[in-house]
Amino acid sequence: MKTVSRVYTALMLIFLFAPIAILLFFSFNDSKSLSVFSGFSLKWYQELFRDRDTLAAVKNTLVLACTASVVSTVMGTAAAVGISRLRSKHLRGVMDTVTNIPMVNPDIITGISLMMMFVFIGSFFGMRTSLSFYTMLIAHITFCLPYVILQVLPKLEQMDPSLPEAAMDLGCTPLRAFFKVELPEIMPGIVTGLIMAFTMSLDDFVISYFTQGNGFQTLPIRIYSMTKKTVTPKMYALATIIFFVILALLLVSNIPDREQDGASRRKNK
Amino acid sequence: MSRGLTRLERGERTVKALTLSPYSLWAVLFILVPLLFIAYYAFTDNGFNFTTENITRFFTATSNLTNDSGETVLVRTYLLIFWRSLKLALISTAICLLLGYPLAYAIARSGARTQKTMITLIMIPMWMNFLIRTYAWMTILQDTGILNGLLGTLGLGPIHIIGTEGAIVIGMVYDYFPYMIMPLYSIMAKMDGALLEAARDLGCNALGVLRRVILPLSVPGIISGVTMVLIPSISTFYISQKLGSGKFFLIGDAIEGQYVANNLHFAAAIAFIMMVVLLASMALMRRLTGRRFYGGAK
């Protein structure tokens, strides 16, 4: 039984990693071929680093992910604090349902619903295009918020409610009690939420695709346009770099799995 | 004493108002109102006059299709696309479940260190952009790709996979497989080993333990795994573009195609119908299993 499960696990790992291994391998190929390795070369990496569009997309992606994750973490944490204090079961149910919408809806729905609203409002004000960095930022904050809330809320609920009460009895204002007592307690949830929001934003393609505009390109959108045409192994070089960055991140920080509390997306989305 | 309490209560009210209002406003503006816009676009024409034209078009539009025996048949375009999406997504989800269940179980039953390593390993592909993962399969399955190269050296004839429904299924299974593993694993890891032992002690054989103890306990994991694979599979457009060579339109392709063609009202109608179907099937599943999807915030 043990052997069977080991062999099965190994087979599944091969299935998961073979495609990635092939990409890595052929990123060092001397020729353009995808099936014949004709010699080691770093030329695709050189070409990648000369590709201004891709480099700009990397920068855009980081700017967007940083802004979106910070904004959604602040707003989401505040929201979680408020939701945890709701006494009315009905109101609580409404908040939970609304928070779940972006997670349960397919990305394509979230994407086009936002896009339609932006386009409608833009044309209302007579703008040729209303889609820009800012619309994409709004979209990213929107789909990041539930992840933050779902990370922070359980931490608030695990906390002993008499702690902030005691602080206030001892003369703290509610605000001071929050920063002195509650915030340190829920910090792990906030950090997890921030990291999840950041990676969700980095990785998103579908929602960004529909809300992009004005030439603002993120890396996933850049990859999409690179794979539209016939592809050079430059794409593989990019994939290889991304792979090693992810590997390093996973190894150094013990990034919480996206699965916590069963609340995840497909990412991917 | 009573003065202190009121002060506390007033404080509570202020905290609630201050913390909840930004998010509530955001949720209304950017979650709820946009969904209304889908409905609004779906039921209006280009001049924003009310019409049911877009919805009717989804159910009635027809096109000619050449079937396997070379005959031309008239089909309902979008119903066919919808049916195909559903079929491929269900097949992919079933394969993910069949492949993932034993794997999740094997991981959950291994030592703590192995569990951690395995979960990290499974997460790595998940963290890679799905466009890249899908693209990797395209290079593998191509007629001149690795797979056919390997088959060639083994003296086997080249096989044509790219541009078939099978290739799309491979892509969906590969891309969304980790989403099946994670919920299954987390529910199985929480399972009490003593329960399994007790079942064995009471005379269950391995199959009995699986059927009477493990399966019933893992139902919530199965449900969330199935949902998390089914929803992205049913709405994808990149996988079908790349691995289906654009020959097999899925519902996501239909929406994206109308968007690219700047035909937002019909795109909205397709999205609206998809949303209604998804909501209805979730409500049905919820009624059947008595469970909420995704668990919610609690």
DSSP letters for A200-238: HHHH--HHHHHH--TT---HHHHHHHHHHSPPPTHHHHH
Q: What are the residues facing B72 on neighbouring strands?
A: B66
The reported pLDDT for the residue numbered A2 is: 78
* B174–A78 C-beta distance less than 8 A: no
pLDDT digits (tens, 9 = 90+) for A142-182: 999 999 999 999 999 888 888 888 888 888 887 788 888 88
| All domains in chain A, ordered by first residue | 1-41 (no CATH), 47-262 (1.10.3720.10)
Q: Per-residue pLDDT averaged across A120-130, rounded?
A: 81
**Cα B263 from chain centroid?**
26
- Closest CA relative to residue A79, chosen from B86, B21, B166, B81: B21
* B228–A109 C-beta distance less than 8 A: no
DSSP B62: E
DSSP B76: E
Other Cβ atoms less than 10 A from the Cβ of A40: the count is 8
pTM: 0.87
Name the minimum distance, in Å, from the CA of A174 to any CA of chain B: 6
In degrees, rounded to 5, the angle at the alpha carbon of residue A244 between the alpha carbons of residues A263 and B175 is 45
A129 contact B CB<8A:
no
A207 contact B CB<8A:
no
Q: Per-residue pLDDT averaged across A231-240, rounded?
A: 83
* A86–B16 C-beta distance less than 8 A: yes
Q: Per-residue pLDDT averaged across A198-218, rounded?
A: 90
The reported pLDDT for the residue numbered B91 is: 97
- Chain A contacts of B267, Cβ < 8 Å? 112
Q: For a pLDDT cut of 90, what percent of chain A falls above it?
A: 40
Q: Are strands B62-66 and B72-76 parallel, antiparallel or unpaired?
A: antiparallel
Helices (H), chain B: 2-27, 33-42, 53-60, 77-108, 112-127, 130-141, 146-153, 165-189, 193-201, 206-209, 215-217, 219-235, 238-243, 251-260, 264-289
Fold of B79-289: MetI-like fold (1.10.3720)
Query: Who contacts B291 (Cβ-Cβ below 8 Å, separation ≥6)?
Result: B219, B220, B223
Collect the ranges in chain B with pLDDT lower than 70: 1-8, 11, 290-298
Q: For a pLDDT cut of 70, what percent of chain A falls above it?
A: 93
The reported pLDDT for the residue numbered B152 is: 83
The reported pLDDT for the residue numbered A191 is: 92
Distance separating alpha carbons of residues B113 and A253, to the nearest angstrom: 17
- Chain A contacts of B47, Cβ < 8 Å? none
User: What is the interface size between A and B, counted as CB pairs within 8 Å?
Assistant: 270
The reported pLDDT for the residue numbered B80 is: 93
**Residue B144 and residue B150 in contact, taking contact as beta carbons nearer than 8 Å:** no
Distance separating alpha carbons of residues B256 and B14, to the nearest angstrom: 45
The reported pLDDT for the residue numbered A120 is: 92
Distance separating alpha carbons of residues B62 and B72, to the nearest angstrom: 12
**For an interface test with A, which of B16, B86, B127, B143 has the most A Cβ atoms less than 10 Å from its Cβ?**
B127
Distance separating alpha carbons of residues B49 and A180, to the nearest angstrom: 56
Distance separating alpha carbons of residues B213 and B93, to the nearest angstrom: 23
ipTM of the complex: 0.86
Nearest to A246 among B128, B235, B256 (CB): B128
